[in-house]
Amino acid sequence: MPPPAAQNAARIRSGPERCAKLPALMPSPVEKVPPLSIVILAAGQGKRMNSSLPKVLHPLAGQPLLAHVLERAATLQSASIHVVYGHGGEQVRAALARDDIQWALQAEQLGTGHALQQAMPAIPDDHLVLVLYGDVPLIDPATLRQLIALAGPRALALLTVELPDPTGYGRIIREGGAVQRIVEQKDASAEQLRIREGNSGVLAAPAGLLKQWLARLRADNAQREYYLTDVIAMAVSEQIRVSPLLAPTAAEVLGVNDKLQLAELEGEYRRARARELMKAGVTLIDPSRIDIRGAVTAGRDVTIDINVVLEGPVHLGDGVRVGPNCVLSKVQVGAGTHFKPNCVIEQATIGARCEVGPFARVRPGTVLADEVHLGNFVEIKNSQIAGGSKVNHLSYVGDTTMGSRVNIGAGTITCNYDGANKFRTEIGNDVFIGSGAMLVAPLQIGTGATIGAGSTITLNVPGGKLTLERGRQITIDSWQRPTKRNKDQ
């Protein structure tokens, strides 16, 4: 190999020759992709939910429907995201306050075409517009990417869906295979109602043309609404290409109109997340009995038993075992840790090779280092517990910093609250606390201290010694057990 200086010289020499082969102003071989603006229609009332909560705020997997749509929209590279809101307006805005959303008010709900029109003034004519629905939460970004690729400055792309029962959906009218228009359920003839290809509502179209078409919409239909779907026939009449894309799965375009559909989609979501985990190598004892809400990741050889609820972000390290009936919410877990049945763990970091439960409760702010053991009926709150320490039975540990290899006896309580303020307990390494101790904070317990069972400790404890606080045990020789009184007397 030539020395670096020689290599550089060779590079410099070959540079101008290579450039000389290129024409000075070569046109780009790829057509310029227009910038993308996303509009989410979310102004509808959702009458059939029979609820005072706006439809798009109903939770699916613990998140508002609209939040799911936004999360998926955010994975596409877009210039802007617009949400058309109306019903329950301020409540919707407050629930989804995000800097990257531009809000467009639709004061009166006059139809999907009218709704889209409210967002259009903020979108430049040379953008491509992707229309999503706030009540269609499971749309797959990969499908959206395919759809966007079919649209262009003179091409509209429409996401359609084959359904066994398309009742309620607009029907796709094709002639010789080419899409001609969409007819809404309420305007369709008996023959058109037999068509099983429905309109998902999702479409991508050039902004400039959309603006022209929307301005020409008329509400001369069964519902007296301005239908967005009418732009399809307008595009066809102007020789704008209309490309249909059949959704790969029906589930991703299913909308939520009532509580039944909401529960069905919750099931779809749950099954999809369970499949992802199993594909990643997780063993689910029964995939139909797990609930996964939000981002959950897992290492190798993880096993999850039945009736477990995981609320993301959750990460389970290699070899973690989660027993039946556990709830893990916003938790990071190190490799080899075992949760026995019925544990509730919330906003905590759990180290490797810990044993937790059965019936343990770990509350926010808790950090367990490696090889910590928490046993039954133990509650830990906002505490840091170092490696190898054990709290095995019936204890409350709150606002505590605990060293390594500490043993907390059954029924020990850190008394952290005086009714007005909270105080911390600091426990050094290798401390042994006897059963039934009351540790009244603020309190420091020195390294290697031993505390006698049943003590109420209110003063700092020196390390390396036995400290106890007890009344003297006495025996009363003359004492006699009471006897039952005769009721007749």
Catalytic residues, by residue number, are: 393
Residue closer to ligand UD1 by CB (options 57, 328) is: 57
Contact of 465 with 452, CB cutoff 8 Å: no
Q: In 387-454, where does DSSP find H-type helix?
A: none
Give the total of residues touching Mg ion (CB under 5 A): 1
Tell me whether the omega of the peptide bond preceding residue 442 falls within 30 degrees of 0, making it cis: yes
**Shortest approach of Mg ion to residue 229 CB, angstroms?**
12
Contact of 331 with 339, CB cutoff 8 Å: no
Nearest to 239 by CA among 178, 148, 192: 178
Residue 73 identity? A
Torsion sign, CA atoms 249, 131, 45, 92: positive
**Binding-site partner at residue 169 among Mg ion, ligand UD1, none, CB < 5 to 8 Å by type:** ligand UD1
**Shortest approach of ligand UD1 to residue 122 CB, angstroms?**
16
Nearest residue to ligand UD1, using CB? 170
Residue closer to ligand UD1 by CB (options 91, 456) is: 91
**Shortest approach of ligand UD1 to residue 185 CB, angstroms?**
8
Residue closer to ligand UD1 by CB (options 44, 244) is: 44
For Mg ion, what does the binding mask look like between residues 135 and 174, x meaning CB under 5 A? Answer: ----------------------------------------
**Binding-site partner at residue 41 among ligand UD1, Mg ion, none, CB < 5 to 8 Å by type:** ligand UD1
**Shortest approach of ligand UD1 to residue 230 CB, angstroms?**
8
Number of neighbours of residue 404 by Cβ within 10 angstroms: 18
Residue closer to ligand UD1 by CB (options 213, 339) is: 213
Residue closer to Mg ion by CB (options 111, 255) is: 255
**CA 80 distance to own-chain centroid:** 22
Nearest to 249 by CA among 142, 360, 111: 142
Q: What is the DSSP letter of 399?
A: S
**Shortest approach of Mg ion to residue 257 CB, angstroms?**
5
**Could you tell me the CA-to-CA distances from 230 to 86, 114, 194 in Å, in that order?**
22, 11, 20
Residues 242-301 interacting with Mg ion (rule: CB under 5 A): 255
**Shortest approach of ligand UD1 to residue 74 CB, angstroms?**
18
- 198 sits near Mg ion (criterion: CB under 5 A): no
Residues forming a β-bridge with 427? 402, 445
Contact of 253 with 261, CB cutoff 8 Å: no
**CA 135 distance to own-chain centroid:** 16
Residue closer to ligand UD1 by CB (options 58, 390) is: 58
**Binding-site partner at residue 299 among ligand UD1, Mg ion, none, CB < 5 to 8 Å by type:** none
C-alpha dihedral over 155, 160, 166, 169, to 10 degrees? -40
Q: What is the DSSP letter of 173?
A: E
**Could you tell me the CA-to-CA distances from 32 to 35, 37, 52, 111 in Å, in that order?**
9, 16, 46, 33
> Which residues sit at the interface with ligand UD1, rule CB under 6 A?
41-44, 84, 106, 109-112, 114-115, 133-135, 169-170, 182, 184, 198-201, 227-229, 255
**Binding-site partner at residue 213 among Mg ion, ligand UD1, none, CB < 5 to 8 Å by type:** none
**Shortest approach of ligand UD1 to residue 247 CB, angstroms?**
11
**Binding-site partner at residue 148 among Mg ion, ligand UD1, none, CB < 5 to 8 Å by type:** none
Residue closer to Mg ion by CB (options 203, 292) is: 203
- Quickly count helices (H) and strands (E) in the chain: 9, 38
**Shortest approach of Mg ion to residue 255 CB, angstroms?**
4
Residue 359 identity? F
Specify the residue for token string 């910038």. 35
Residues forming a β-bridge with 64? 59
Residue closer to ligand UD1 by CB (options 132, 302) is: 132
Q: What is the DSSP letter of 422?
A: B
- C-alpha angle 247/250/254, rounded to 5°? 110
Q: Which residues of this chain interact with Mg ion, rule CB under 5 A?
A: 255
